[in-house]
Amino acid sequence: MTAPDPSAAFTPTPIAFDPADPTERRLAFLMEADRLKEIERAGRVAGGRRENSAEHSWHLALYALALGSEAAEGASVDRVIRMLLIHDLVEIDAGDTPFHGEKRADLDAIEDAAAARIFGLLPAAEAGEMLALWREFEAAETPDARFAKALDRMQPVMLNLATGGGTWPDFRVSEQQVLDRCGPPIARGAPGLWPRIRDRIRAYFAARGA
Amino acid sequence: MTAPDPSAAFTPTPIAFDPADPTERRLAFLMEADRLKEIERAGRVAGGRRENSAEHSWHLALYALALGSEAAEGASVDRVIRMLLIHDLVEIDAGDTPFHGEKRADLDAIEDAAAARIFGLLPAAEAGEMLALWREFEAAETPDARFAKALDRMQPVMLNLATGGGTWPDFRVSEQQVLDRCGPPIARGAPGLWPRIRDRIRAYFAARGA
């Protein structure tokens, strides 16, 4: 089944939500979150087009679900999934910062403000919980956050490998740069996965004669 | 930071996974799952373009996370999130069937075969778990599955409301058809949410003079 061609003009229609009602606040948050689908990343899906941050977040949550047995002892897969579902929402305001690109000096401040605004759409207690979960992810110190970070580093490598190098030739990064930048976070959060990724990175660069 | 323009030719590069190794099977499943990003739905994101099934799945998981307090007693939000992350994977083979469109007679058989193939990429025990979770979602009888189904019916309504009616004018459906088709599954899985959705549907059609 394909849908009828949407030839009728598209009319954006902002919905009003009552900020005094907790459930209305949750709906407002969910409508705002829709905008993450418009945030384009540097990397590509295996089909070739640029990936967006919403579908990337879905893919990462599925990574956590399928690879949970690779997490360090003490990690909770369900908590990692929650973390990954919300980890990129700040990009609605801050945009995506490519892993191999330059990071603007004020990025942390911009992302902090974004987190306060976006999670702040929720009722206060829930906003506080999501903000704490996002900060835990960013700090990458707990077993849950380390596993989440490892997956966030690993999934783009897999897609780069599936797309002729993906962002590596785009950013002209060397084999050693890829190994140095991706190795530590992946090895720390998912030690059993890193050798598989490392060997594939090496094979890619070897085949390219770089 | 924007990425350099990917003017270099894109080279799809299939990755080989060893089916005798459980972790390689998980990686093969995750690479196959990437294709859900290419499955276009009839509905649109608030920005206007067609939504794909991967970002839709992310949005639904976030709905479960933010609206968990609306689930019926006995529902597990984390289990609902897992269910929603995988609920549309069969569309990689079967395509999306628009809610207001016609359903082909052999759709159930096609989706069953798709589930067997896609979840079957995983090690057998994990494949069995995911298949059971997907079947539970489809049957919509447990509290978890009813809540998941309610969200799966509700999120497209919210996006239709945000896009001038979205798929409703596309499929020429009436107010009564929308209420009859969306009401029961939403009211059954998330009774507290339905009146908010119903009133907004009524207001949309009233404003349109339909």
| Packing angle of the helix pair B53-66, A22-33 (nearest 10 deg) | 160
Give the length of chain A: 210
Diameter over CA atoms, chain A:
62
- What percentage of chain B carries pLDDT values higher than 90? 87
| Packing angle of the helix pair A77-86, A143-162 (nearest 10 deg) | 60
Angstrom distance (rounded) from CA B193 to CA B208: 23
Does A154 have pLDDT greater than 80? yes
Which residue is it, tokens 């976070």? Answer: A185
Q: Please indicate, yes or no, if residue A96 is contained in any of the structural domains.
A: yes
Angstrom distance (rounded) from CA A68 to CA A193: 11
Strand partners, B44: B50
Query: What pLDDT score does A24 carry?
Result: 97
A187-207 average pLDDT score: 96
A40-51: pLDDT as tens digits: 999 999 989 999
CB < 8 Å to B53, chain A: none
Its ipTM equals: 0.95
Q: Please indicate, yes or no, if residue A4 is contained in any of the structural domains.
A: no
Q: Please indicate, yes or no, if residue A10 is contained in any of the structural domains.
A: no
Q: Please indicate, yes or no, if residue A9 is contained in any of the structural domains.
A: no
Among residues A40, A150, A154, the alpha carbon closest in space to that of A88 is found at: A40
If you count DSSP H runs as helices and E runs as strands, how many of each does chain A have, helices first?
A: 10, 2
Angstrom distance (rounded) from CA A153 to CA A84: 12
Token readout for B9 is 């030719």
Q: Please indicate, yes or no, if residue B9 is contained in any of the structural domains.
A: no
Contact A170 B55 (CB under 8 A): no
Query: What pLDDT score does B126 carry?
Result: 98
Contact A30 B97 (CB under 8 A): no
Residue A118: partners with Cβ closer than 8 Å, 6 or more residues away: A29, A32, A33, A89, A90, A92, A93
The confidence band for A171, taking pLDDT boundaries of 50, 70 and 90, is very high
- Residue of B66, B163, B200 with shortest CB distance to A10: B163
HSE on the CB side for A198, CA within 13 Å? 15
- Residue of A31, A48, A70 with shortest CB distance to B10: A48
- From residue B155, alpha-carbon distances to A42, A105, B57, B206 in Å are 28, 37, 10, 21
Residue type, A75: A
Is-contact A163 B11, C-beta < 8 A? Answer: yes
Contact A126 B66 (CB under 8 A): yes
Contact A171 B3 (CB under 8 A): yes
Q: Which of B55, B57, B63, B96 to mutate to test the interface with A (most CBs of A within 10 A)?
A: B55
Is-contact A61 A81, C-beta < 8 A? Answer: yes
Ranges of residues in chain B with a pLDDT under 50 are 1-3, 6-8
**Three-class SS string for A145-182?**
HHHHHHHHHHHHHHHHHHCCCCHHHHHCCCHHHHHHHH
Is-contact A133 A86, C-beta < 8 A? Answer: yes
CB < 8 Å to B167, chain A: 3
Strand partners, A50: A44
Does A7 have pLDDT greater than 50? no
CATH number of the domain enclosing A131: 1.10.3210.10
Angstrom distance (rounded) from CA B69 to CA A95: 31
Does A6 have pLDDT greater than 70? no
A56-89: pLDDT as tens digits: 999 999 999 999 999 988 899 999 999 999 999 9
Among residues A58, A57, A65, A44, the alpha carbon closest in space to that of A90 is found at: A57
Residue type, B167: T
Angstrom distance (rounded) from CA B68 to CA A187: 34
The confidence band for A2, taking pLDDT boundaries of 50, 70 and 90, is very low
Nearest-neighbour CA in chain B from A141: distance (Å): 23
Helix or strand or coil: residue B7?
A: coil
Contact A3 B65 (CB under 8 A): no
B59-101: pLDDT as tens digits: 999 999 999 999 988 899 999 999 999 999 999 999 999 988 9
Contact B45 A38 (CB under 8 A): yes
Backbone angles phi, psi at A193, to 5 degrees: -85, -30
Query: What pLDDT score does B144 carry?
Result: 98
Give how many domains chain A has, as a whole number: 1
Q: Please indicate, yes or no, if residue A29 is contained in any of the structural domains.
A: yes
Is-contact A182 B51, C-beta < 8 A? Answer: no
- Residue of B3, B30, B57 with shortest CB distance to A66: B30
Q: Please indicate, yes or no, if residue B140 is contained in any of the structural domains.
A: yes
Contact B30 A167 (CB under 8 A): no
CB < 8 Å to B54, chain A: 54-55, 58-59
Q: b or e along A178-189 (b: 16 or more beta carbons within 10 Å of the residue's beta carbon)? A: bbeebeebbbbb
- Residue-number span of the structural domain to which A68 is assigned: 22-207
Contact B3 A34 (CB under 8 A): no
Q: What chain B residue is nearest to A69 in terms of C-alpha separation?
A: B23
Contact B67 A23 (CB under 8 A): yes
Q: Please indicate, yes or no, if residue B4 is contained in any of the structural domains.
A: no
A112-151: pLDDT as tens digits: 999 999 999 999 999 999 999 999 999 999 999 999 999 9
- What percentage of chain B carries pLDDT values higher than 70? 95
Angstrom distance (rounded) from CA B34 to CA A47: 9
Q: Which of B7, B30, B50 to mutate to test the interface with A (most CBs of A within 10 A)?
A: B30
Which residue is it, tokens 């959060």? Answer: A189
CB < 8 Å to B52, chain A: 55
Contact B85 A58 (CB under 8 A): yes
Contact A30 B66 (CB under 8 A): yes
Angstrom distance (rounded) from CA A7 to CA A117: 36
Q: Give CA torsion, residues B43, B44, B45, B48, to 10 deg.
A: -170
Query: What pLDDT score does B63 carry?
Result: 98
The confidence band for A9, taking pLDDT boundaries of 50, 70 and 90, is low
CB < 8 Å to B10, chain A: 44, 48, 163-164
- From residue A133, alpha-carbon distances to A54, A67, A189, B113, B192 in Å are 18, 20, 17, 38, 27
Q: Which of B32, B62, B104, B161 to mutate to test the interface with A (most CBs of A within 10 A)?
A: B62
Output helix, strand, coil percentages for chain B, rounded to the nearest 5: 65, 5, 35
How would you classify the pairing of strands A40-44 and B40-44? unpaired
Strand partners, A52: A40
Q: Which of B18, B24, B34, B97 to mutate to test the interface with A (most CBs of A within 10 A)?
A: B34
